[in-house]
Chains A and B, each alone.
Chain A
Amino acid sequence: MSKFFVFIDQFKGQALPASWEVVTAARQLADQAGGSVSALVFGPEAEALAQTAIHYGADEALACADATLSDYRPEAYTSLLAQLAKEHSPQAVLFPTTTRGRELAGMLAIDLESGVLPDVTAINLQDGKLVATRPIYAGKLLAKVVCNATPQLLTLRARAFGKPAADSSRSGSVSSVAAALAEGDIASKVVDYAAGDGRVSLGDAGVIISGGRGVATNPNLTPPAEITDAKEKEIWLAHQGFALLTELAEVLGAAVGASRAAVDAGYVPYAHQVGQTGKVVSPDLYIAAGISGAIQHLAGMRTSKVIVAINKDADAPIFKVARFGVVGDLYELLPALTQAFKERLNK
C-alpha cells in the first residue's frame, strides 16, 4: 500500500495554512491510489498540530516536539525526515512550497538519492507515479515532470490544490518519534528573532492590493516644506499612495504587493515585490493600482483569478490581463473603493 508523507510546515507552533492544503491534496492522492497519509509534525505544539492534520485528512501523524527542533534548523529537520522515510518507505513526501518546504525537500532528496519537483501546481497519478505540472520562467511556460526514484519529493504551491476542509470528528493515531540528531551534532543555532509586521503574507493571501510607480504621482499633494530632496519628496508621495492601498487591504484582509519599479524606487521593502524576481502569487482577487504591467510583473500575478487594474494610462498592458479596469486616478478611486467595500461588507 502506498504511503504519502506530508510535512507540516510550522513556525513557533503555528502551522502555515499551505500545510493543510497539502494534507488535503495528499488525501485525494491516497484515495485514488488506495494508500494512506501520514503527517510529519516537528517542533513546538507538534501533538496539537498532529491532531489538526488528522482533521484535515491524515490517517496518522508522526510527531516530534524535541527541544532540538523548537527552532527550525534544516539539518536537524532533514535528518529526522530521512530517518522516518527510511523506516516507513513512503511513495512520496509532499511539502508546501514555502521557504522551509523547498529547502527540506531539496536536502532530503540528497539524503535519499532522489530528486525534487518543486512548486507543483497539478498532479496526475500515472501508473502509480506522480506526474507533476510546474510553472517555469515565472509561469510563462509549464513543465510536466516526473521523479523516477522513490520516494518522490514534491513541494505543492499554495492555493493551487483547492481549499482544505477540516472534519474534527476524524480520528487517527499520533506517534511520538525521537529526534535524529543531538544538539551537539547541529552546526547552527538561532540566537535572535524579531517578528515582522504581522501583515498577511503575499503567498497565503486570497486578496492582494498592489501598487506601482503610479502611487507616487499625485499632483494634488505637496510634500512638507522641510523635505527638500527630490528623491525624498517622491518617497513621501509614494508613502501617501501606499497608505491608501493599505487602508483598502485592511478592509479586505488583503496583503499589500508592489511592482519591481516601486520596490527599486525605494517606496516599499522588497518583501512586497510581486513578479518574476519577487513573489509569484495567485490570489482570488488582485487589484493593481498605478501598475503599468511590465512582462516581469504580469508573469508574477497573471494566474490570479480576478484581476482589477486601476491606471491613468488607458493603453497600459495591465488592462489586457484585467477582468475589470478603471481608467482613472488611483488617488480618487482607492478611497472611494475602500468606502464602498466598507459599506457592502458591513465593516
Chain B
Amino acid sequence: MFVKQVPDSAAKITVENGVVNWGDAPLVINPWDEYAVEAALLLAEKHGGEVTAYSLGDENAKEALKHALAMGCQQAVLISDPALANADTAAVARALAAAAQKDGADLALFGKQAIDWDSGVTPSMTARVLGWPALSLVAAVPALDPAGKTIKVERAIEEGRQVVESRLPAALSIVKDYAEPRYPSFMGIRKAAQAQIPSWTLADLGISAPANTVETLEISAPPAREVSNEIITGDSPADIAAKLVDKIIGEGVL
C-alpha cells in the first residue's frame, strides 16, 4: 500500500518565489492514505498476507512510513531517487508500479487522493502501468479469494453503491467509509522508531527515469477576494430572514 507525506490540513500554506511553505505545521501521513493502511491491515488480518507500505519522496517521507509501521504494517520501503525530484504523476505511477511488481504484490491500495496536489490520478495510473484492474472509491471488500485470484468490492460512487467483481491482482483506492483508522499502539510506535527503512533507487527498481511530461510553470497565491461583510440584524428571526432573502436575491445567484 502506498502513502504520501503531506503538510497537515490545518496548515496555512503560502508561496514565495515559487516555493511552497507551510510554516511550522507538521508533516503528516496523507489523511486519505490512513484509510488505505487500515483497509490493508484488516484484509491481511482476515485473509493472511503481509502489508508493505511504500512512499515516494525524500527522507521526510520516512515519517509517513513510520506512521504506517506503527499502525501495524510489516515492512516499509522508501522510494527515493534524485531523478524523481520533479516527477509528475505519470512518472510517480511508473515508479510505484515497479515497486509493486518487484515485491510481487497481489493488491495495491491507495488513498483516493493526496491533500497537497489534489491530483487523484495516481491510483488509476499505477493500475494502468501494471495492467491491473483499477477499482476506485472502495468502501468495503465483501469477498477476497487470494488463491482463486478474485475480489469483490463495494464502491461508494457518486450515484450510489456499486458491487464489482474483479480478477487479482488489482489496484484499489479506499474511501473514508471503509473503517476508522486505528491509532498506532505504544508497541507499534516503539517498533516503528527502531525500524530500518530501506531506500530504493530507480536502479533498485530496475527502471530508468520515467519521462516527465507535465511542467509546473508557476505557483502563486490565489487572488485575494474582496469580501465585503455585512451582518444582517433585525427585530425577529422572520425580519432577519426577510432582509437576508432580499439581499441574496439581490446578488443574482438564484
- A residues with a Cβ closer than 8 A to B are 11-12, 74-75, 78, 98-99, 102-107, 109-111, 113-119, 131, 135-149, 187-196, 201, 203, 206-207, 252, 269-271, 276-277, 280, 284-285, 294-296, 299, 302, 305-308, 319-329, 332-333, 335-337, 339-341, 344-345
Give Cα distance in the complex from A134 to B10, angstroms.
20
Within 71-108 of B, Cβ neighbours of A (below 8 Å) are at: 88-90, 93
- Indicate whether A144 sits within 8 Å of B158 (C-beta atoms), given known contacts A116-B121, A136-B116, A190-B163: no
Contacts of A345 in B (CB 8 A): 254
How far in angstroms is the closest Cβ of chain B from A245? 14
- Give a binary string over B100-136; 1 marks a CB under 8 Å from any A CB, 0 the rest: 0000000000000001111111101101110011111
| Beta-carbon contact of A106 and B165 below 8 Å | no
Within the complex, what minimum Cβ distance (angstroms) separates B30 from chain A?
Answer: 9
Query: Are B241 and A106 within 8 A (Cβ)?
Result: no
Of B20, B120, B166, B212, most buried by chain A (CB within 10 Å of CB) is: B120
Complex formed: what's the CA distance from A341 to B244 in Å? 10
Set B7, B133, B176, B227: member contacting A187, Cβ < 8 A: B133
Stretch in B57-65, B185-193, B218-226 with 4+ CB within 8 Å of A: B218-226
Q: Can you give 20 A-B contacts (C-beta < 8 A)?
A: A98-B158, A99-B137, A103-B136, A106-B128, A113-B211, A114-B90, A118-B120, A119-B118, A136-B118, A138-B9, A142-B219, A142-B220, A191-B165, A196-B158, A196-B161, A270-B176, A270-B177, A295-B9, A336-B240, A340-B245
Shortest Cβ distance from A116 into B: residue: B121
Q: Which residue of A lies closest to B156 (CB)?
A: A271
User: Which B residues touch A271, using CB under 8 A?
Assistant: 156
Tell me whether B217 is interfacial, beta carbon within 8 Å.
Answer: yes
Q: Is B164 an interface residue (CB 8 A)?
A: yes
Q: Which residues of A contact B44 (CB under 8 A)?
A: none
Chain B residue with minimal CB distance to A111?
Answer: B128
Given A141-B15, A145-B214, also A305-B253 (CB < 8 A): yes
CA separation between A191 and B152, bound complex, in Å? Answer: 9
For A319, list chain B residues within 8 Å (CB): 229, 231
**Pairwise interchain contact B158-A201, C-beta atoms closer than 8 A:** yes
4 extra interchain contacts, Cβ-Cβ under 8 A, other than A119-B119, A137-B7? A277-B176, A333-B241, A339-B238, A339-B241
In the complex, are the beta carbons of A106 and B124 less than 8 A apart?
A: yes
Residues of B with C-beta under 8 A to A206: 253
CB distance from B51 to the nearest CB of A (A): 23
> A345 to B247, alpha carbons, bound, how many Å?
14
Q: Report A-chain residues with C-beta under 8 Å of the C-beta of B227.
A: 307, 320-323
B118 and A135 contact, CB distance less than 8 A: yes
Contact of A207 (CB < 8 Å), options: B175, B217, B219, B254: B254
Residues of B within 8 A of A149 (CB): 213
Q: Do residues B121 and A277 form an inter-chain contact, with CB atoms below 8 A?
A: no
Fill in one digit per residue for B17-55: 1 if any A CB lies within 8 Å of its CB, else 0.
000100000000001100000000000000000000000
Once the chains are docked, how many angstroms separate the CA of A12 from the CA of B157?
A: 13
Query: 7 nearest interchain CB pairs?
Result: A106-B121, A336-B241, A115-B213, A192-B163, A115-B214, A188-B166, A284-B253
**Cβ of B211: which chain A residues have Cβ within 8 Å of it?**
113
Residue of A102, A135, A307 touching B222 (CB-CB under 8 A): A135
Report how far A95 CA is from B219 CA in the complex, Å. Answer: 23
CA distance in complex: A123, B125 (Å): 23
**In the bound complex, do residue A147 and residue B213 qualify as a contact, i.e. CB atoms below 8 Å apart?**
yes
Inter-chain contact B124/A107, CB cutoff 8 Å? yes
Check B158–A99 contact: CB distance below 8 A. Answer: yes
A192 touches B90 (CB 8 A): no
Question: Contacting B125 at CB < 8 Å: which of A106, A146, A188, A329?
Answer: A106
Assess the B248–A142 pair: CB atoms within 8 A.
Answer: no
CA distance A77 to B212 in the complex (A): 25
For residue B32, which residues in chain A have a CB less than 8 angstroms away from its CB?
277
Q: B183 to nearest A CB, angstroms?
A: 15
Interface: B148 (CB within 8 A)? no
CB distance from A158 to the nearest CB of B (A): 11
Most buried by A among B12, B159, B164: B159
B115 A277 Cβ-Cβ under 8 A: yes
Contact assessment for A320 and B128 in the assembled complex, using a CB-CB cutoff below 8 Å = no
With a cutoff of 8 Å between Cβ atoms, the chain A residues found around residue B225 in the complex are 302, 321
A192 and B134 contacting across the interface, CB-CB below 8 Å: no
Produce 1/0 per residue, B224-240, CB < 8 A to A: 01011111110011101
A102 touches B121 (CB 8 A): yes
- Taking CB atoms, residues of chain A closer than 8 Å to B159 are 11-12, 195-196
Whether A148 touches B215, Cβ cut-off 8 Å, given contacts A136-B118, A193-B163, A195-B160, is yes
